[in-house]
Amino acid sequence: MHNIAFIGFGSNKGDRKKACSDAITALDAWSGCRVMKISSFYESEPWGYEEQGLFINCAAKIETGADAFTLLAFLQATERRLGKEKEFLWGPRTIDLDLLFFNQDVIDAPGLKVPHPFLHQRRFVLEPLTEIEPSWMHPVFKQPVEKLLQQVSDTKKIVKLAEART
């Protein structure tokens, strides 16, 4: 295993904490990766489409032997297995797994954009990332995630709920 990736987790339907925990467990059990760090859980206001319930969000740093496309396929299969039904863009969901960073790669392919194209605009992504790896450099903006968090214009409320799992 030689690739480092960061995954964002989010849920606002059903048992939100369980959905995120189940996704972390699935990732950790996959032979293609090893979970290195997991942030605390955060409760956050919805971003994009605001007429929906609060989210539980967290982030994980993983090590993987898989390439970015194989990892993405695993994340999407995990979402389906955990009951994700995407009703509409940024709408409510049981689980959402986003590939935020993959090494320092910049990927712009159909179905996969890395780094995640909105992560620098979303406090609910930057807070957990900063908790687990504040100095990680964004390969496009050439700034650490902690600096991106300081500069983010997103004013949505986000509250730390629980300490990180190890």
The pLDDT score that the predictor gives to residue 114 is: 98
Query: Of the ranges 7-11, 24-28, 73-77, 90-94, which one carries the lowest mean pLDDT score?
Result: 90-94
The answer to whether 36 and 15 are in contact (CB under 8 A) is no
The pLDDT-based confidence of 134 (bands split at 50, 70, 90) is very high
pLDDT of residue 166: 44
Q: Where are the beta strands (DSSP E) in 14-54?
A: 33-38, 41-44
**C-alpha span between 93 and 12 (Å, rounded):** 6
Residues recorded for the chain: 166
* Residue whose entry in the numeric block shows the structure tokens 């690739």: 3
Least confident of 45-59, 79-93, 102-116: 79-93
Determine whether 146 is exposed, middle or buried from the number of CB atoms within 10 Å of its CB (0-12, 13-18, 19+). middle
Domains in the chain (CATH in brackets) are 3-162 (3.30.70.560)
- Would you call 61 exposed, middle or buried from its count of C-beta atoms within 10 A (0-12, 13-18, 19+)? buried
- Element spanning 92, H or E: none
> What is the phi/psi pair of residue 141, to 5°?
-85, -10
